[in-house]
Structure 1
Amino acid sequence: MRKLVYYVAVTLDGFIAAEDGTFDGFVFEGDHMAGINADYPDTLPTQLREPFGFSDTPNRNFDTVLMGRHTYQVPGGLASPYAHLRQFVVSSSLTDTPDDVEVISSDVAGRVRALKEEDGLDIWLCGGGKLAAELLPQIDKLLLKIHPVVFGRGIPLFDGKADITKFQRTDARLFESGVSFMTYERP
């Protein structure tokens, strides 16, 4: 069975973006970039795979990406940001997407359970916080790029009511840039 993996950058105070949805405060230079990209090249937007040297690299971890509407429509974003993956956007209002981006407008948890039953690599939940809170019972693994920055306010890692859910740390990588890459899984 495939896993739903919430892979996201987060601040020290638990935000995945500023209040306006931007993430300019995150650290985009340093040793963590090469280290994490080498292990998770499938999470690079399609347009960045070639410049970063991963254009011919097969997907290693994910073959499907699931994102909320705000994550999909990030300012300056692309109509098909992860064309090398099967792309899903959760939205009750979005209707205008390319053919390779499917909109899920109802029974999100049911659709995720069905996707998890399919053969293939894991499913990447790349945002946002409201969707992560809604899907917390379905999330099997957390991959958190913890950046050494405090936003003070913004979009939380889990934005909404969620039951207490325990995860077990299974890996930790520390980088000179100050970024920590933490892996947590359901026990």
Structure 2
Amino acid sequence: MPKIIMWDMVSVDGFFEAPGHDISWFVFEDELAAYIGETQRDAGTLLFGRVTYEMMAAYWPAAEGEIATFMYGIEKYVFSRTLATADWNNTTLVTGDPVAEVERLKRLEGGTIFVFGSADFAAALTARGLVDEYRLGINPVLLGKGTPLFQNIPERTKLELTHVRPLKSGVVILHYQPVAD
């Protein structure tokens, strides 16, 4: 059964985007690119909510390099009640129950499933206990306002820290796994 990993860049004060879906504050440099290359080799599928999908689909098709090649080729699912089509290469649009579809995907053979961004979608997966690991890139910035990464979580979820990787840029990558009470 594939593992579901939620991977997000966040500010020290817990926001994954500034107002207006602004992510220009992310610290993205060679050391982070190397980490992404190392840790996503076993990825088989990417999952997005609509807003994150639209941002990714607008950026990655014109980009170049190892991550762009990865993003182009990997199987992707976008979960949306409003999109009519999803035209980015290897993308399936899911308009029905997102939790049921992710439960189905998790029963299939294949590589790790990654969730990027998509706060509402990720919260629904967290609420159903479907996320096996949280990977957070804590960026050295306070935004003051924006979209919190973890919102609408119905109950406390205890996490165990399994990995820490500080980068020269000041970003600290943390890996957490949910712990059963």
* TM-score, reference length from structure 1: 0.82
Q: What's the CA shift for 1:79?
A: 8.2
State the partner residue of 2:22.
22
State the partner residue of 2:111.
121
Q: What's the CA shift for 1:26?
A: 1.5
Aligned 1:13-52 pairs, distance under 5 A: 13-29=13-29, 32-40=31-39, 42=40
State the partner residue of 1:68.
49
Q: What's the CA shift for 1:28?
A: 2.0
Which whole-Å CA distance do the structure 1 matches of 2:7 and 2:42 have between them?
A: 11
Q: Render the CA deviation track for 1:89-147: whole Å, top value 9, x for unaligned.
A: 01001012226211111211111111111111110001211111111021110111111
Q: What's the CA shift for 1:158?
A: 1.8
Aligned 1:46-125 pairs, distance under 5 A: 60-74=41-55, 77-78=58-59, 82-98=71-87, 100-125=90-115
Q: Is the 8 A contact 1:79 1:97 kept in 2?
A: no
Determine if the alignment matches structure 1 residue 174 to structure 2 residue 152.
no
Structure 2 counterpart SS, 1:13:
coil
The AA in structure 1 aligned to 2:24 is: D
The AA in structure 2 aligned to 1:133 is: A
Report the count of equivalent residues.
168
Higher helix proportion: 2
State the partner residue of 1:46.
none
Structure 2 counterpart SS, 1:77:
helix
Q: Render the CA deviation track for 1:143-187: whole Å, top value 9, x for unaligned.
A: 111111111111111232432111110010112211101111123
Q: Percent identity?
A: 30
Q: Is the 8 A contact 2:32 2:167 kept in 1?
A: no
Q: Render the CA deviation track for 1:24-49: whole Å, top value 9, x for unaligned.
A: 112123x6324413413x4xxxxxxx
- The alignment yields a C-alpha RMSD, in angstroms, of 2.0
Q: Render the CA deviation track for 1:16-67: whole Å, top value 9, x for unaligned.
A: 11121121112123x6324413413x4xxxxxxxxxxxxxxxxx22110000
Structure 2 counterpart SS, 1:138:
coil
Determine if the alignment matches structure 1 residue 139 to structure 2 residue 131.
yes
Structure 2 counterpart SS, 1:83:
helix
Structure 1 segments unaligned to the other structure (5+ residues)? 43-59
Structure 2 segments unaligned to the other structure (5+ residues)? 62-67
